[in-house]
Structure 1
Amino acid sequence: MWTIYLGLTGLAAANPQVVGLGNYTGALEDPRFLTSLWLTVLYVGGSAIIGQAGLGFTLAGILRTRTGPVRRLVEGVVLLSWIPPSTVVGFLWFALLDRDEGTLNALLHTPGFAWLLDHPLLSIIIFDVWRGTAFSMMLYAAALENVPPAHLETARLADAGVLQQPRDVVFPASAATS
């Protein structure tokens, strides 16, 4: 409620004046706001929806049927991205993407290429996906443990494809147990 009140009043803190929807219409007409809104949609779509949720669910689904050292290795590598503090991870990514001394430029033989300056949104999305996939994978793995294997086997016998199994079996079974 407080945010709505602030949006409907002017900027004067001592004597706020009600300006109605003027602040909102002004924001919608401002090209900088529309640009920031578009960048936010790209970031959330690329990082949270496609990246973290998609990759986390895919990894959890693939690892669900695996056992032994391969599963433990993949889980360990994915979880290693989540364990270090954010400041350490930020420094590591900066060292990887640095223009002059960056590891990625050394590997690709592209000295002077400024990944963070030339492709900032893509760099941040990749960093965020790398950092957040572990948590998504753990959540989806826990949810997938509640899906009875017999349901998936029945779907396979009914010729349900790779995309139909999550839609018709996994998601309804996960929703029913939550």
Structure 2
Amino acid sequence: MKNFSLLSARAGALFFSPAAALVGAFVIVPFFWVIFVSFTNRTLLGKTALNPEFVGFDNYIALFNMSTFFTRGQFGFSLILTIQFVLLSALVGQALLGMVLAWLLQSTPKYVKVFSESAVIVAWILPEVVIGFAWFAFLDYDNGTLNMLVTSLGLEPGDWLLENPFWVIVFFNTWRGAAFSMMLFNSAFSSIPPSYFQAADVAGATSFQKFKDIALPLIKGHVVTDLILITMWTFNVFTPFLLTNGGPSYRTELLSIYTYRVAFKDFEFGKGAAVGVVIMLINLAFALVYLRIAKQKNKGTA
């Protein structure tokens, strides 16, 4: 029996080793390589491309230089812009809209529910490039669908990507990401025993009361999971680059776009790696906060 257990352990390790090798090669090694590069002045061109010098915390000090921190095109401006983007498009937009849509679908006929889910999920499964150019065509000033609709109502057309670029990417990301939240919460609501809602109906509870007192407390774990995932995805999303290229005048240069510009346009790999490390730490902080909140709520209900 002991030999069989040893054989099973060896077989498990053998099957696990290819996945472990891939994770090590494409996740762990790049992770530590980025941290190392962030302490150097490595660039794409010049002598520091082959022989970078160790500069310590110079790249981090440059990022948090308060004299330029809030200037457009600098790290601080992109950080604040990204935080606003996450709050509006992920927490308020995707999570809230996805939850509301999922709750409304619970009381609709089955064919309406299936059609709505199919229509919404298209925004999630289509490639980002396709979605980006579709929205670009939708918002085009001269021949865009939105301006055609606005003009047909007797209103003045707008140059949306130039006049309101930030709100464009907020609505764009909300529209695209709400599908995931809707499907997750739809599954969560469907897992609640129908008898709970039937008893509430007998007691004369309204739809909002059933949502607040029955559904929401039972799906807290799903809410935390959704918030963790969409926060991290939104914080690192690059798709708005297809609409605005980070402009005009850096007004939509999120951290992901700022990192791309610094590392692959300005060729400052060391500084770009420092931004990447800061982003990883922020993502880790988000995850720890959400997990701590979930743990406290679980203790409170235990």
| Same-fold status (TM-score > 0.5) | yes
Percent identity reads 37
Following superposition, the deviation at residue 138 of structure 1 comes to: 1.5
Following superposition, the deviation at residue 164 of structure 1 comes to: 4.6
User: For 1:123, which of 157, 165, 168 is the aligned residue?
Assistant: 168
Does the CA-based 8 Å contact 1:60-1:141 persist in structure 2?
yes
Aligned residues: 175
Does the CA-based 8 Å contact 1:155-1:169 persist in structure 2?
no
1:89 matched residue in structure 2: 131
Give the 5 Å matches for 1:92-103.
Answer: 92-103=134-145
The whole-number CA distance in structure 1 between the counterparts of 2:125 and 2:56 is: 47
2:95 matched residue in structure 1: 53
User: For 1:142, which of 176, 184, 187 is the aligned residue?
Assistant: 187
Q: Which runs of 5+ in 1 are unaligned?
A: none
Larger radius of gyration: 2
The whole-number CA distance in structure 2 between the counterparts of 1:84 and 1:22 is: 41
Does the CA-based 8 Å contact 1:59-1:137 persist in structure 2?
yes
Following superposition, the deviation at residue 37 of structure 1 comes to: 0.6
The whole-number CA distance in structure 2 between the counterparts of 1:7 and 1:151 is: 54
The whole-number CA distance in structure 1 between the counterparts of 2:109 and 2:95 is: 23
| Residues 1:44 and 2:86 are matched in the alignment | yes
2:268 matched residue in structure 1: none
Does the CA-based 8 Å contact 2:123-2:176 persist in structure 1?
yes
Give the 5 Å matches for 1:1-178.
Answer: 1-11=32-42, 12-29=48-65, 30-31=68-69, 32-109=74-151, 110=155, 113-151=158-196, 161=209, 162-171=211-220
| Counterparts in 2 of 1:150 and 1:171: CA distance versus 1, 3 Å | farther
TM-score calculated relative to the size of structure 2: 0.49
The whole-number CA distance in structure 2 between the counterparts of 1:54 and 1:21 is: 40
1:79-134, Cα deviation, whole Å (9 max, x unpaired)? 33335443433333222211111221122225552101111121122122212222
Following superposition, the deviation at residue 35 of structure 1 comes to: 0.6
1:50-73, Cα deviation, whole Å (9 max, x unpaired)? 222221122112212333333233
2:233 matched residue in structure 1: none
The whole-number CA distance in structure 2 between the counterparts of 1:51 and 1:173 is: 17
Q: CA RMSD in A?
A: 3.0
| Counterparts in 2 of 1:35 and 1:90: CA distance versus 1, 3 Å | same
Following superposition, the deviation at residue 27 of structure 1 comes to: 0.1
Between 98-107 and 45-54, report the one with greater CA deviation. 45-54
